[in-house]
Structure 1
């Protein structure tokens, strides 16, 4: 539907005829078959997303006059039509310190106003002491309370309305001192055969990446040609080659970054 005002230009006008023309055509099509008595008119049967021009022909007792100049081009939109969500401001990768709060924000618009859902990985989040969710106008906010290493993950927000859905994502990192997460099997003696490569992968938490020191009987093995140490953001992998009986014994592993340190002992036996 399109409504516009017809301006009176003087003379004893008895009615008006309205014509429409679609964009990129030359054909003017009558809109009303009988004269309109009012100075405004609602044009029916327009196609949404089509562009039209309009013009008016005044009529009096002497007949119809010259058509007016055409109106500005008008694109037809249903004012009640759904508009899919659109993120004006997307989530950004964020990091914070352990024990502090981390705030994630995204700005989203749409018609009707979209509902939003927050996710950590693939798990949908709910309001809790750990997670606070709120809206400030079009801005959606997630507060991560008492940030911990377990909060290191991909977070996402999904906006949906009857027009569709959209999602944006970010990575959250928590700065914390390193802490070993030794599997239960590493609490016991680790047995290997002579010559067998010894590969030990030890999970840990902490950020930034820690420095690693490996010692046996007080000797630093970090530069030993038979020893290699690989550090990823979730695990330390220690490889010992050319093992023999002299390889047996307790090994001390120490992790440290600028926030703190942790250490553990592994007991290895080679037969």
Structure 2
């Protein structure tokens, strides 16, 4: 223990030590806050502290013995001078114990404040303040250890002693220099050491009294403990409802496949499903799956051919087992060669519509082995054999109605079944007829040449929807009905273009896909189109006079003809009244000469000369005249003779 050897060399003078004692006294005042950490050990055993520190009194001579070898007087001197510093040492160390609450800064400040104070007051002998720290340190290490062991609440004391030793060791280098000067006075202090050893136990009980007040304050500052709340009990576990739509998906001679749907109500979750079966006329249920399955399908294997099994499915959750969802009928374990299948014709896949009184003959083929069992239902009820005939064969089923009635309308369902397998087909049959007339028709208003009508739908639509209406009108004078609007979809209409002064009645027919209703709803009141009193005065027009004197629009043209070849002269004339046309040759009127043919058609005048000769040439004139005047055109005709060259040579 090198720290102890250094401290024992120092103490030589008593006078400086007495001056040092008042210096540490004010130091504990600024640091009352850390004290509460050591408050519990200080309060518990104040009486036991005296015996605990009394032990160093006996230990002091023991320490003096080894010290006597090097400096016998130095060991005895420190206990006598260390009485006042012993009280100061716990004060310095008291703020340090709470490690979690800033232990380092208070201790460092306390050590730094104690060291300069010792050097200023006892400059000649600085080792004397350190000896009480050393004396307290061995006491804390040796004498106080049994006392703390006896009081279990003084657990934080060891860190305080350790910090005091650290403070003493930090001040040790400053003490080593004056140790040589104080060594000769050590024997003089040996006598005082025995007397000082007995005095500290009487004063020490006052030291723990200082931190009592902070200890109470710490207890008062502690927050009150909250009372624990009772835990909320968990909700009760609820089982699920039974699985639904349990049916057979497949079956053969050794296994059967079951399928189902999830329960409608899920209670406290769903762990899975358990499938159980038993033979017919027994009550021994066998679990098909050892552990609950999460799927909605299970294959039960290792079955005996020919057995008739009852099967049900149970859902499982923390609330327990649900009610079982069972098959409607037991399953026969055997091989099915061909499953039943209905081959529904395309025309029957939609609504099948027929008129009242027509014949219905539906042939629906199917397949399956062995021979399927065929059944028919209408709107969920068995088909009435008196009104509907059903004929079944090995390959098809025939639904026959001799004379359709509206009561035959509905949904017919055909079912073919082989053991537990079945196939279904639904056929919608609709028997329709002509609709009834509208419930009522009334004349709302009439103005000018218009009349407004309204009507209500018919009570009987003919078992089908109304596609439109037909509106007709009739004049009271003639009584003949004429269609005004056809395929009209609204329940009101306006009829226009009525004749002024006439009185009209109106009627409305209803229509559907069959046709127009036989009857009609007629308006109770007639619409009278009144005269407005307008007098019509036609405008005066000057009559155009179309009479005019003859006028040739196309004159005659000069022509050249050949002897023996017929020729024709043409011209055009216009006039009103129709002019009289005359032809002249060389200013001589051509009479009824058969050689000339004169034609006048719609103002086109022509003169045909048949096989003219050289004497027929000349000036031809066409003259037209009427009451208003006359006009004439002329042309020259030349008739040429053909001369043969051989005849001229002769």
TM-score (norm 2): 0.22
Relative to total residues, which structure has the larger helix share, 1 or 2? 2
Greater C-alpha radius of gyration: 2
Relative to total residues, which structure has the larger strand share, 1 or 2? 1
TM-score (norm 1): 0.45
Choose between structure 1 and 2 for higher RCO, CA contacts under 8 A separated by at least 6 residues.
1
